A and B are shown apart, each in its own frame.
Chain A
Amino acid sequence: MSEPTHHAHTVVHPKVYAAVFGALLLFTALTVFASSLELGVFNAVVALAIAVIKATLVVLFFMHIRYSSKLLKLTICSGVFMFLVLITMTLTDYISRAWGLW
């Protein structure tokens, strides 16, 4: 093929899966614990940060992206990017509406 499509297919060892599994459970416990603390706005920030870390772990290891081609990595990034565009561009309207007219 005209681009390097061939990647040796990596078989991920169960130990890696088990480690990721443990980390995910740990982060779940952590996020529940963090929610019981009084952190103000940072409650949301911490909870979302932990969620992003957990999701990244799942994508990288359970979904094999760490061992995949650049194309797939780029594909995921573009999806996340468009999702952020949808949210931020919509929010530009909602946030700046409060500033009133000129």
Chain B
Amino acid sequence: MSTIISLPDQSTATLPKRSYLNSEYGLKSWLLTLDHKRIGILYLIVTLFFFCIGGTMAALIRLNLLTPGGELVAADTYNKLFSIHGIIMVFFFLVPIAPAVLGNFLIPLMIGAKDVAFPRLNLLSWYLFVTGGCFELYAIIWGGMDTGWTFTTPLSTHYVNTHVVSAALGIFVAGFSSILTGVNFIVTIHRLRAPGMTWFRMPLFIWSYYATSILFVLATPVIAITLVLIVLERVIGIGVFDPAKGGDPLLFQHLFWFYSHPAVYVMILPGMGVISEVVACFSRKRVFGYTAVAFSSVAIAVFSFFVWAHHMFIMGISNYSALVFSLMTMLVAVPSAIKIFNWSSTMYKGSITFDTPMLYSFSFIGLFTIGGMTGVMLASLGMDIHLTETYFVVAHFHYVMVGGMVSAVMAGLHFWWPKITGRMYPEPLGRLAAAILFIGFNLTFFPQFIVGYLGMPRRYHSYPPEFQVLNVLSTAGASVLAIGYLLPAVYLLWSMKYGKIAGANPWQAPGLEWQVQSPPLTENFPEPPVVDFEAYDFEWLANHTKSEVQTVG
């Protein structure tokens, strides 16, 4: 049953006198803050900065591919462009954006805690992230790196003379920030839930962030040691991956993908959490099959450790092993599909409103489904041999990462923007931007499926002339996509000062974070809350609002 609640009149809402934003002023109060909400915003600023760098690189790549000859940049510059794009977008945007920004801001609020378990560690992890980012910026400014984001050996250890060492060290340091964030979240979720907040009363957002944190803790150390080995091999020439000294380059691939495949789920699981919240709120229904969605998050996290070698099917791993990994990879489709079906069932007979976060959720569900289904195609061994290292793969993971995760991040950012800033963004512009993003995204990446299937390899700076039409379409789409990113940047900044005042609960959502003022107090809850209702309990909210009206009236 869905419950219809008319949104309250927001015109009478006022900004609270005291909130985490105005409790202290000055740069120092931000740089030394232990408040999880402020740290979340610090992360937001830094990750968006890196997104601009990565996005600029993407724009240059697309411009260069406008013509078959690749007239804009030289071949080795092109290599640097896509390497920087990949490294920055993966390690410094997609991995931290959802966990560190939305997670830091929302996890304590959603479970009724005053802060994360280790606030100092939380601040330290931001500084580690910034330090890692500085290494990366150093590498970029002093000439870049051209290994691709995968640091493939022996290319990265023997054949390139670019800044591999500082790039690897940057990721190593930023990895510790991921680990500490993961540790912090797991302990927070286990130990700091408010009285009455049982595991199955938690919002699904928390479940998916819990699964993400497990991946952080168990997978990140493996890439840390792998990058240390790369650095040692470059600097003092130990031979763990060097065939000349008896090493095996494939071992590098195993260790690298042992992290990097779970990292792909780090980049999508938080997005799934956001979508669960948004879909429930704008359908005004409890998420269909709550337990199934909760456990599918954990299942995705567990499965992700058993599939990594599907990145290596054509690299000479054994056929028998490839068969196992192919099967395991297809199994990941099951929990992902459970989520998609459950969101669709949640919307079924819900009273849906088409606000901006919901539009982004629609685009998430559609685009992620396409990305996921092409993933199953790539998981089957025969298809993979045809499609690996073509633009088909590029399109596939951009459908998941950009179409999926970035849509989810935009949905989350719009959904919680009134909570973060206390002000609403302009709704018509929001809907327009969501539409532009959807159109621009499909125009950019759908042609890449076709051009990849036809055989255009990735990572090349020129291509045969018969692929030009599709590449021009893709570049045109990229420029639409750029507008889709710039527009929200402009109106969100504008709304920080001029947006309508939102009030505590502009969406009439039942989550704990919506029951406090926006922006929240530094200590989140004036008194520790006691939870006596399930997640997504719209009837509880309706009764609660009614009784409040009666008491006040």
Find out whether A and B make contact in their complex, taking CB atoms under 8 A apart as touching.
Answer: yes
| Chain A interface residues (CB < 8 Å from chain B) | 1-3, 5, 71, 78-79, 82, 85-86, 89-90, 92-99, 101-102
In Å, the complex CA distance between A3 and B198 comes to 8
A85-B305, A93-B309 as given contacts; A1 in contact with B321, CB under 8 Å: no
> Chain A residues near B321 (CB, 8 Å)?
92-93, 96-97
Please tell me if B196 contacts chain A, counting CB pairs below 8 Å.
yes
| B196 in contact with A2 (CB, 8 Å) | yes
Interface centre among B193, B197, B320 (most CB of A within 10 A): B320
| B198 in contact with A79 (CB, 8 Å) | no
What string of 1s and 0s marks CB contacts (under 8 Å) between B246-261 and chain A? 0000110010001000
Name the one of A2, A78, A85, A95 contacting B193, with C-beta atoms under 8 angstroms: A2
Write 5 A-B pairs (CB below 8 A) sorted by A numbering: A2-B194, A2-B195, A86-B222, A96-B320, A99-B320
In Å, the complex CA distance between A89 and B310 comes to 12
Interface centre among A5, A71, A93 (most CB of B within 10 A): A93
A93-B321, A96-B320 as given contacts; A71 in contact with B190, CB under 8 Å: yes
| B317 in contact with A97 (CB, 8 Å) | yes
| B193 in contact with A1 (CB, 8 Å) | yes
Please tell me if B318 contacts chain A, counting CB pairs below 8 Å.
yes
> Chain B residues near A79 (CB, 8 Å)?
218
> Chain A residues near B258 (CB, 8 Å)?
86, 90
**Size band of the B side of the interface?**
20 to 34
Name the one of A1, A78, A94 contacting B191, with C-beta atoms under 8 angstroms: A1
> Chain A residues near B218 (CB, 8 Å)?
78-79, 82
What is the total of A-B residue contacts with beta carbons within 8 Å?
A: 54
Please tell me if B306 contacts chain A, counting CB pairs below 8 Å.
yes
| B318 in contact with A99 (CB, 8 Å) | yes
Name the one of B193, B319, B324 contacting A102, with C-beta atoms under 8 angstroms: B319
In Å, the complex CA distance between A94 and B251 comes to 9
CB distance from A29 to the nearest CB of B (A): 32
Name the one of A93, A96, A98, A99 contacting B254, with C-beta atoms under 8 angstroms: A93
Name the one of A71, A86, A93, A98 contacting B317, with C-beta atoms under 8 angstroms: A93
Q: Which 4 A-B pairs have the closest CB atoms?
A: A96-B320, A97-B318, A96-B318, A93-B321
In Å, the complex CA distance between A82 and B215 comes to 11
What string of 1s and 0s marks CB contacts (under 8 Å) between B215-243 and chain A? 00010001000000000000000000000
In Å, the complex CA distance between A83 and B309 comes to 16
In Å, the complex CA distance between A79 and B254 comes to 19
CB distance from A95 to the nearest CB of B (A): 8
Nearest B residue to A82 via CB reads B218
> Chain A residues near B191 (CB, 8 Å)?
1, 5
A1-B193, A2-B197 as given contacts; A82 in contact with B305, CB under 8 Å: yes
> Chain B residues near A96 (CB, 8 Å)?
318-321
Nearest A residue to B322 via CB reads A93
